[in-house]
Amino acid sequence: MWGGRFAEGPSAIMREINASIPFDKALWRQDITASKAHVAMLGAQGIVSAEDAATITTGLDRVAAEYEAHGVPENWDLEDIHMTTESRLAELIGPVAGRLHTARSRNDQVATDFRLWVREAMEQADAGLHALQVALVTRADEHADSIMPGFTHLQTAQPVTLGHHLMAYYEMAARDRSRFADARARMNQSPLGAAALAGTGFPIDRHATAAALGFDAPTRNSLDSVSDRDFALDYLMAAAQTALHLSRLAEEFIIWASQPFGFVRLPDSLSTGSSIMPQKKNPDAAELVRGHAGRIVGCLTSLMITMKGLPLAYSKDMQDDKPPVFEAAGLLTLCIAAMTGMVEATTFRTDRMRAAAELGYATATDLADWLVRQAGIPFREAHHITGSAVKLAESRGIALDQLPLADLQAIDARVDERVYAALSVEASVAARASYGGTAPEQVKARVAEARVALGLE
């Protein structure tokens, strides 16, 4: 491949450090697709004959069929997927295969292949997140009025509905999808034809190859074309944020499945047992989703550090761009699927949730709000009065709504019997009817909007 420039072949060390075929063979479909678009353009422009273009295209189809049937062979002397394919093409069709590389370089070739792969990964992530959103919306609809404790600092704060809680993750997934969509729109330009770094003297038609590969347009600067990996970083940033959201959801299920909470029964299909404790049912799938988030963030960090300080244009460091993206994409696909299955198949123990919502004086804010609305008391004063009522109830080991009216009036004479209607957990969630609140009517409204947005209505 290196022609007459080098008197000796690569040493064993150089051969091993230089070869990327063990991982970039994953790009074979994209490499074949881009090569077919390139040779079709060469034929249309008269740069190669129509007969040669047809022969090369047929040969590429034969190579693709071999890869599909038997996998991509790993010959480290051929370094990468590009030379592996070109070498096999030459074995099949002879010297005419050498015309395929006219007016391109491996620099723009790999940049194109990798963009195509990342674009598909973005679409796969979006499809997976759509399925997760459908699962969340479906379960939220079932539990629009199921009451559970809402937490801050993992302390009981106010009653909320389970449907409202699940829809919070729907919103996170919606933002994740928007990040992938933004990244896809930004990266959808074709570097093919930028050649090594300066463009080419052949009369190529870069708009034609861009259109053939589903890009919006060709890239506008040949130096940037071959050295840009923003699209891979954009993917990893979106993947990392998605992984963080999935990790938070996984943590919720881990906590809820623990015996002190007992809010959920996880599906057997996403749980494991213990080798020594027969009673155990471990939330291993959720724990692995939580753990994989760290690996995905690590993949982002890896590529950011690789790209830091690289001068224009292509540098061999950029060969290390693909392993972190491939790893993150595989992990992300698994994590989305695992959490989708968990949301779909988990049994929510709403009796336990409701009982927990009645603990911890979760309706204290409702007492303060009632004092503001019904007695015209400034909120800060109402907050102080409520704090005194909570202290009294806590000292007696009873709930707020179990305090006798006389005791409440001893704290503040403006309290009357109407206050008890505001102190139940049902009244508490029903009162939170502001837009985006936890009231069942609001949850059902958000679910209805989400079903339309997801194409379910």
Q: Which residues are catalytic?
A: 153, 274
C-alpha separations of 14 from 77, 106, 225, 314, 390 in Å: 10, 19, 27, 19, 73
In SS3 terms, 323-336 reads as HHHHHHHHHHHHHH
Cβ pair 399, 156 in contact under 8 A? no
268 DSSP 8-state letter: G
Question: Cα(145)–Cα(427) distance, rounded to whole angstroms?
Answer: 11
Helices (H) and strands (E) in the chain, counts: 18, 6
* Strands (E) located in 260-406: 264-265, 347-348
- For 157, the 3-state DSSP assignment is strand
Instruction: Compute the CA torsion angle 66, 72, 75, 81 (nearest 10 deg).
Output: 110
How many CA atoms, within 13 angstroms, populate the side-chain half-sphere of residue 68?
Answer: 9
Residue type, 243: A
Cβ pair 137, 454 in contact under 8 A? yes
Cβ pair 325, 27 in contact under 8 A? no
Question: Cα(88)–Cα(225) distance, rounded to whole angstroms?
Answer: 28
